[in-house]
Structure 1
């Protein structure tokens, strides 16, 4: 019975896409065959390949790219792929199988890489893998390719994890780990919650003061003990007196306290988080960063050409002693012919285990180095295309460089939060020493290729 999807591809150049498509088709219930030994650089067993194509394959899915030819020369198919295609063409002709070979077009290669390839129905994956996968599923359903209704985990994904990924195992080594927690060198001992009669009063005071203030409805939160409550109206100063003013110590905030009336401990947490969000925004604005609104209404902040004197940020890793070596990172630059790419961060306030921010990395794209693209789908597609080249080290270094770029002329990251009160940010995220680690792959082969690549916006 012909019930198997045979995937033919160039090894190792197109392994990434091949495992991605194979694992997803298998999760959908299709029976898949790929050359597992060939994926790992082993010997191709032609007897088995011949038998699968000749007796069991209902479709030959050809991962179509420049890599199927020697040295990217059209017409010179690599030996293994050439054998598979010739056998498939022979079987299709003898048994009159329609659309037996389906090219999955994953790059900008021409449609005539080999004789007859331009006569085949190509499914485009070169713009968006998800869109191509959807079109492929429609074709398989139309041609009534057998499918199992029982949902099971992908054996291909499990095999790849056991045989390939797990070889890069944890080893004994002293290693420094950088977290995404970004905290402070100092923190005021207390903060203040002001309750006003109505929302309009709170809004007027909020706009009068230029320091970071958290605002939720008719409540303002600040590190300022003597908030300016004078508002100019019709060329006169009017004082708006808050109904209530509460002093909350940071110790009570962290360890909790019992109170039934406003502000309860939960109230204090919520309003303090709002205040810290404003402190983060103030720092980004002070540093003249631009921001992009994410789908969850948060902002991702990014550097632009006039933010930095030099788009390259140079820094030294901590704890390197006499082996200190300067690191230089670029946080934005040209992206193909489409515009510019920018590394960006968003933040979420964290109270435990540290008071500070949990940073999240993003990529955004602009038309001219400043204005982000309006096309969300295009933005998403290029995030994946650009992000596929980044590994842990790259993301870590960009995050560290981003923070280093916020320093003032004295090498400090500071904002004013009240009269005679400064909030000083650390120059590094929180770090942890461990007696175990792993070897980062140097051949730039993705370890997460079983997952469709999305940059989360939440």
Structure 2
């Protein structure tokens, strides 16, 4: 709307002029009281002079009266000597009118562009609508402005809906409440909806959803709104109606008892009828339970036997039903991880004792020795003597490195030649610094000693009668049938409550044998780090069973039989193994030479954590073997692997 400014008084026009020109040149003008203006209705003070604004409301008088008035004010303008003079008027002006006014005003007017007529003012009002709204008498008769003001007032008065989470907003229909006759493009059904109850199914949802997204599927669950209540119930239902290509229903009694899930399920059943898809809802059975009302005899995906097996079946079903998935690289929504962290186990500001898998070295030899040959030697005989030497020994240059003394060396290596001890090096210096005289760097020296300790460990375990198995990158030793009967419990925990755990038993037609791999470390102190191992043999009704040579089958058995073992079960078996390993002694003595031993504590090191968690500790001695796969022989021999 173009204003002629007739509704404004002289003072109101001056206020409007100051506001508009101030916004345009980004300056604030001073306002003065009513009365003689001395050729100045507004002023902005500068260090080198003032910017002066003058407003002439000559809507009815016209250009002639304005020209006459400006001639009378020329002297006052020159007296102000402003750095810039701006004239604003409501009188209609032509380009020639502005030129005439510029000559009258004189040098204070820098350019005719500093003369603003009605057309210029209307252009500024369109540019700065907030100035227009601020001058109520200006737009009192303007219908568009009135509508805008009334609309804003209603929006402020009405309750504003909260912002919908972006992950949900992206699923809502693009056109809601279209105008009559408007064409609305149907929403694309490309999203798998996971119907679950909160919070009992949150763990399963956080496990399953990222795996589906990794396969290229688009997945949504109410957990993504990060709200446990009903805040987004209407929007979730709307997205379910328009965007769901399949609905995955978590099937267990506690889930089906949730009223919100029942409401969502009713909507899903209606959608299934509308799109004529009898397999629209895919039940995911997490436990045996009641039938789902409305699904009849729908075949569920079985997650009872294992989540890993269940997701394989689900992916196969989705592929066979040709559910659309992204062809571009998979993108996993970060909100799954964000929610998982929000539900992380809370910490308690209370110290907690933790049992490690480290066995600390209590004693070690003081020195390590280098022997050099005297005269001619037969290298083949030397190699054989080193190989047959009962203690750790390694060839180096023209001799060998060992912990043995001179007498022991003379007896063991007499067939290969004569040798004398040339260097006796402190063991710690050798490990930490190497031995430059022999060209042995620190890392090489450290590796040599580690290899010698491992050789002593192997000899110790073999002497005790443990079963030896060569894994891809290490050697493990397992409880043998000669040491432990199948199903026999080994007591441990003498310093506290006595407990017991099994080291050998039968599960799924196979005998499992618990064992360990030991690796020496020097940092932050000397210790052996133990890694738990489980070896299997076919149960052929003999104590030891039939060995399995297929490494892949052994791997499958470890994944299936041991998946139900909890941390306390692994912990108990480790301590029982150490009891079997050390016997009545509190130490494990690894022989490095006749008079040199590495003494290892048989009890694992205890560490203190400065904080603990809120997790309950409910396992007792009887629950140590609660997993049915580790108790006795399976009733159904058909469970045995082929």
> Do both proteins adopt the same fold according to a TM-score greater than 0.5, normalized to the shorter chain?
yes
SS in 1 for 2:272: helix
Query: Equivalent residues in 2 for 1:298-317 (5 A)?
Result: 298-308=474-484, 310-317=488-495
Partner residue, 1:36: 223
Q: Which protein has the bigger helix share?
A: 2
- Cα separation, 2, equivalents of 1:364 and 1:42: 49
Q: Is 2:595 aligned against 1:424? A: no
The answer as to 2:374 corresponding to 1:187 is no
Aligned partner of 2:612 among 423, 427, 437:
437
Q: Judge conservation of contact 1:29–1:149 (CA < 8 Å) in 2.
A: yes
In 2, Cα distance between the equivalents of 1:408 and 1:260? 43
Aligned counterpart, 2:512: 341
- Native 8 Å contact 1:214 1:272 kept in 2: no
Q: Which runs of structure 2 are paired with 1:51-450 in the superposition (5 Å)?
A: 51-62=238-249, 68=252, 88=268, 90-97=270-277, 99-102=279-282, 120=299, 133=311, 136-137=314-315, 140=318, 143-147=322-326, 149=329, 151-152=331-332, 154-162=334-342, 164-165=343-344, 168-193=345-370, 200-213=380-393, 221-226=401-406, 227-228=408-409, 238-241=415-418, 246-257=423-434, 259=436, 261-296=438-473, 298-308=474-484, 310-317=488-495, 324-335=496-507, 337-368=508-539, 370=544, 373-442=548-617
Give the distance between the partners of 2:502 and 2:294, measured in 1 at CA: 44
Counterpart CA distance in 2 for 1:358 and 1:259 is: 29
Alpha-carbon spacing, 1:282–1:40, altered in 2? closer, same or farther (3 Å): farther
TM-superposed CA distance for 1:263, in Å, is: 2.9
When the two structures are superposed, what TM-score results if normalisation uses the length of structure 1? 0.73
Q: CA deviation at 1:427?
A: 1.9
Q: 1:307, CA displacement in angstroms?
A: 1.4
Give the total of aligned pairs: 419
Between the aligned partners of 1:19 and 1:373, the Cα distance in structure 2 is 37
User: Any conservation in 2 of the 1:333–1:342 contact (CA below 8 Å)?
Assistant: yes
Aligned mates of 2:537, 2:398 — CA distance in 1? 37
When residues 305 and 7 of structure 1 are mapped into structure 2, their CA distance, relative to the original with a 3 A threshold, is: farther
CA apart distance, 1:426 = 0.3
After superposition, the CA RMSD in angstroms is 4.4
Q: Deviations over 1:20-72 (max 9, x none)?
A: 221222345533223539999988997566444432221223456xxx3589x
Residue 252 of structure 1 deviates from its aligned partner by 0.6
Distance 2:339 2:296 in 1: 32
Alignment deviations for residues 317-364 of structure 1 (CA, whole Å, 9 cap, x no partner) = 5xxxxxx322322233222x3323333221222111122322222333
Say which structure is richer in strand.
Answer: 1
Distance 1:328 1:422, change over 3 A: same
With a CA cutoff of 8 Å and minimum separation of 6, indicate the structure with the bigger relative contact order: 1
What SS does the aligned partner of 1:55 have? helix
- In the superposition, the TM-score normalised over structure 2's length comes to 0.54
SS of residue paired to 2:350: strand
Q: Which runs of 5+ in 2 are unaligned?
A: 1-187, 620-642
Query: What residue number does 2:212 align with?
Result: 25
Per-residue CA deviation, residues 276-328 of structure 1 (Å, 9 max, x unaligned), is 111221222122211333232x12222133214753232235xxxxxx32232
- Structure 1 residues 5 and 247, CA, compared in 2 at 3 Å: closer, same or farther? farther
Q: Distance in 2 between matches of 1:45 and 1:364?
A: 52
CA deviation vs aligned residue, 1:423-443 (integer Å, no higher than 9, x gap): 322022232334322244447
